Amino acid sequence: MFFWVKQYYNIFAKLLSKTMSSIVQTLLSLAQEINPDFNRIEKLSQSGSARQYFRIFSEKETIIGVYNNDIKENKAFFSFTNFFQTQHIKVPKIIKIDTNQQYYLLEDLGDETLFTFLTKNRNKENINESVIHYYKKVLKQLPLLQLSGRNGINFSVCYPRFAFDKQSMLWDLNYFKYYFLKLVDIPFDEQMLEDDFQEFINFLLETDNQYFMFRDFQSRNIMLHQNESYYIDYQGGRKGALQYDVASLLFDGKADLPQELREELLQYYIEQLSLHINIDTKTFKKYYFGFVLIRILQALGTYGFRGYYEKKSHFLLSIPFAIKNLKYLLPKFEFSSKVPYLIHIIQKIVESDFVTSCTFPENKLTVSITSFSYKKGIPQDLTANGGGFVFDCRALPNPGRFSEYKNNTGKDKLVIDYLESFDDIKIFYELTTQLVSKSVENYLFRNFNHLMVNFGCTGGQHRSVFFAERMAEYLKNYYPNVNIVLVHRELND
């Protein structure tokens, strides 16, 4: 119990030390320097990085606000963005940068990514032609992005490394070793594995590596906007080989493209690349499968660190896809004889019962979110678990005291705008989402199947409804594998 209290206290202290309110106010002020009509801001779901994204609203338009205290990473993003635009590569426009370079504003490209579009337009292995059309559009543009490496892009701003060189590869392989192999309890001989890592790296470094390597070229970093594909999150880009980015896209874990489609798209990419430079297809594919492997091993390190170590269990959902891809790749490695011990370890991963048992199916946990009035009592939990969270909203500003809001609810824009104008509302939202997230991740990891979250206010009409709606939206965005049941008890009477 003390552990959880301490964790919650740490979250609260952290938020107070760099309050969400100050970040929001700085971004809103920056936006108002462009257009005074910007008057509302909404936090977007956070990804695996420390960057925080917000959507900023006026009556006629929206823009994206970003806060990131890693200035070197920001400078890389600014430099790459400016260069890509000179090359007519579709990336978000930078609207304004704060003088300290920790805050900046971007063009809003919407919410549709290639991954969400794929998810909506497939039936297991059957993928709609419209999705394949976008993949081919992306693969046609990819060579233009990669050839920036020969067209004058500034590699001196790359962060944390200027190239995907021996050091970068060793970082990725050690990440796999220490955050996946050790955490899933697969024993290995340290020296033998290290020797094979060196051989593997030497093999990969035989390729031409004078191109721009996006580094994280996957379906969630490709936005679909006005029938065009745009690229985001390339601040980790560096000098590297052509094969890495196409490997990242086609073997994107949860996208789970059918193998036949992967082969078709790879051939299409090679044909498009051949329009720009001379390519020997056989040699290209020889090294391509090596870059597929190092990408998957790096990803497993990430899944292990985020899932097993940090207990952010939604990352574990990607492990079965990575294992499936390793099974497919094993017979395709032409360099297997040079790294027999690494291949042996990969075989142990594929055959490991422990790895399989530590993953879990989707839709296991249900979170019931209820708004209620304290006049009628706290909702009962009828499941076997018992209990959950009860958040009291009565100390917050109450729109129910004003006649203009009496006939509205927390789902109406009039009430939402009123509540979001108060810093107390924003802080309460941040604290409650942080607390509930901790429990969701712990429950997923421990195979629990139900969590109850309740928001209460005086009448069960305004504040409690507002927060229940926001919590449901947050969990749907950040934990797509969780079932959400949303009930507004007093509104449903």
pLDDT at 359: 53
pLDDT band at 6 (very low <50, low <70, confident <90, very high): very low
Same domain, 190 and 324: yes
Same domain, 423 and 315: no
Domain-ending residue, one of 88, 107, 126 = 107
Q: Are 466 and 421 a contacting pair, CB within 8 Å?
A: no
Domain-ending residue, one of 107, 130, 162 = 107
Same domain, 137 and 42: no
- Domain count of the fold of the chain: 3
**Phi, psi (5° rounding) for residue 445?**
-65, -35
Helix then strand count (H, E) for the chain reads: 16, 15
483-488, strands of its sheet edge to edge: 389-392, 450-457, 366-373, 483-488
Instruction: Supply the range of the domain harboring residue 150.
Output: 114-358
For 36, other C-beta atoms within 10 Å of its C-beta total 9
Q: Are 147 and 186 a contacting pair, CB within 8 Å?
A: no
Same domain, 69 and 216: no
**Residue 2 placed within a domain:** no
Same domain, 334 and 389: no
Q: What is the pLDDT of residues 142-183, one digit of tens each?
A: 999 999 878 889 999 999 999 999 999 999 999 999 999 998
**Residue 7 placed within a domain:** no
The CA-atom distances, in angstroms, between 348 and each of 301, 330, 341, 353, 355 are: 16, 12, 11, 10, 10
Q: Which two tokens stand for residue 192?
A: 């033998």
CATH of the domain at 170: 3.90.1200.10
**DSSP summary character for residue 308:** I
Plot region of 461 (φ>0 → left; ψ -120 to 50 → alpha; else → beta): alpha
Same domain, 334 and 371: no
**DSSP summary character for residue 113:** B
Domain-ending residue, one of 323, 358, 393 = 358
Return d(Cα 75, Cα 399) in angstroms, integer: 43
pLDDT band at 277 (very low <50, low <70, confident <90, very high): very high
Same domain, 311 and 229: yes
**Residue 467 placed within a domain:** yes
**Residue 445 placed within a domain:** yes
Same domain, 170 and 185: yes
**DSSP summary character for residue 157:** G
Task: Spell out where 326-387 has E strands.
Answer: 366-373
Return d(Cα 328, Cα 253) in angstroms, integer: 13
**Residue 4 placed within a domain:** no
Alpha-carbon torsion, ordered 399, 401, 404, 405, to 10 deg: 40
For 136, other C-beta atoms within 10 Å of its C-beta total 15
Q: Quick check: 406 pLDDT over 90? A: no
pLDDT at 56: 96
What pairing do the DSSP bridges indicate for beta strands 450-457 and 389-392? Answer: parallel
Same domain, 124 and 159: yes
Same domain, 128 and 196: yes
Q: Quick check: 7 pLDDT over 60? A: no
Q: What is the pLDDT of residues 24-78, one digit of tens each?
A: 999 999 999 999 999 999 888 766 677 999 999 999 999 999 999 999 999 999 9
Q: Give me the chain's average pLDDT, please.
A: 89
Peptide bond into 379 cis (omega under 30): no
**Residue 6 placed within a domain:** no
Q: Are 134 and 120 a contacting pair, CB within 8 Å?
A: no
Same domain, 335 and 376: no
Same domain, 232 and 307: yes
The CA-atom distances, in angstroms, between 257 and each of 118, 132, 260, 278, 331 are: 10, 10, 8, 28, 19
CATH of the domain at 44: 3.30.200.20
Q: Quick check: 471 pLDDT over 60? A: yes
The CA-atom distances, in angstroms, between 388 and each of 314, 428, 440, 443, 479 are: 20, 17, 11, 11, 18
Q: What is the pTM of this model?
A: 0.73
**Residue 66 placed within a domain:** yes
**Residue 158 placed within a domain:** yes
Return d(Cα 231, Cα 221) in angstroms, integer: 6
